[in-house]
C-alpha cells in the first residue's frame, strides 16, 4: 500500500493492484481511482461517453443513469470491504470478493444530471461493519462539488 497524507480524515492508502481484486471489471467497473480513508473510501470516475448504457440513455443527449452512479457507490463499498482493516477484523480475515453482494439501498436522492466529460467524485462512509453485513452512507458529486446522488444507506453482504 502507498501512504498518502498525514491528515487522518484524508486519504490513508491506495492498495496496489486494487482493480484486479474487484469482483467486477470492464465495462461494468465505474471507478477510475479509489483510496481508503480513516472511515470509508473515496473514488473518481470520468464519464467517457462510450459506456454501453449511455448509447440509449438518452439517444440525443446522453445522461449517466442514476442507478449506475449508485452502483459506483456500491463498488466503492466493495473496495472498502476488500482492503480496509476494519472489514478484515469484522470478517475474521480477508473478505473474499465472490462473497460480496448488494443487499439494499435506502434514502436515495438524485439531484443533478451527469453527462460525458463529467468527473464524478464518490465518497462512502462506513456506518457499521459487522459480518455478514456492512452499512454505508454515500454521495456522488460532479462539477464544483454539486451533489448528484445521495444514499442514506447502502448495505452490502459479505463473508470471509
Quote the CA–CA distance of 138 and 53 in Å, as a whole number.
22
Known catalytic residues are 57
Query: Could you identify the residue written with the cell 460480496?
Result: 100
R_g of the chain computed on alpha carbons? 15
Measure the CA–CA gap between 6 and 8, rounded to whole angstroms. Answer: 6
3-state SS assignment for residue 4: coil
98-132 b/e (C-beta count within 10 Å ≥ 16 → b): ebbeeeebeebebebebeeebebbbbbbbeebebe
Closest of 109, 76, 83, 103 to residue 158, by C-alpha: 103
Amino acid at each position: 500500500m502507498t501512504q498518502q497524507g498525514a491528515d487522518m480524515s484524508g486519504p490513508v492508502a491506495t492498495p496496489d493492484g486494487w482493480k484486479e481484486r474487484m469482483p467486477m471489471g470492464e465495462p461494468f467497473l465505474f471507478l477510475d481511482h479509489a483510496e481508503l480513508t480513516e472511515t470509508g473510501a473515496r473514488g473518481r470516475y470520468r464519464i467517457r461517453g462510450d459506456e454501453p448504457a449511455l448509447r440509449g440513455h438518452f439517444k440525443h443527449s446522453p445522461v449517466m443513469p442514476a442507478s449506475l452512479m449508485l452502483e459506483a457507490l456500491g463498488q466503492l463499498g466493495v473496495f472498502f470491504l476488500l482492503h480496509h482493516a476494519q472489514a478484515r477484523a469484522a470478517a475474521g480475515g480477508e473478505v473474499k470478493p465472490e462473497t460480496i453482494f448488494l443487499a439494499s439501498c435506502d434514502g436515495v436522492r438524485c439531484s443533478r444530471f451527469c453527462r460525458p466529460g463529467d468527473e464524478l467524485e464518490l465518497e462512502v462512509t462506513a456506518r457499521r461493519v459487522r459480518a455478514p453485513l456492512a452499512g454505508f452512507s454515500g454521495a456522488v458529486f460532479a462539477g464544483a462539488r454539486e451533489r448528484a446522488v445521495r444514499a442514506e444507506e447502502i448495505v452490502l453482504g459479505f463473508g470471509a
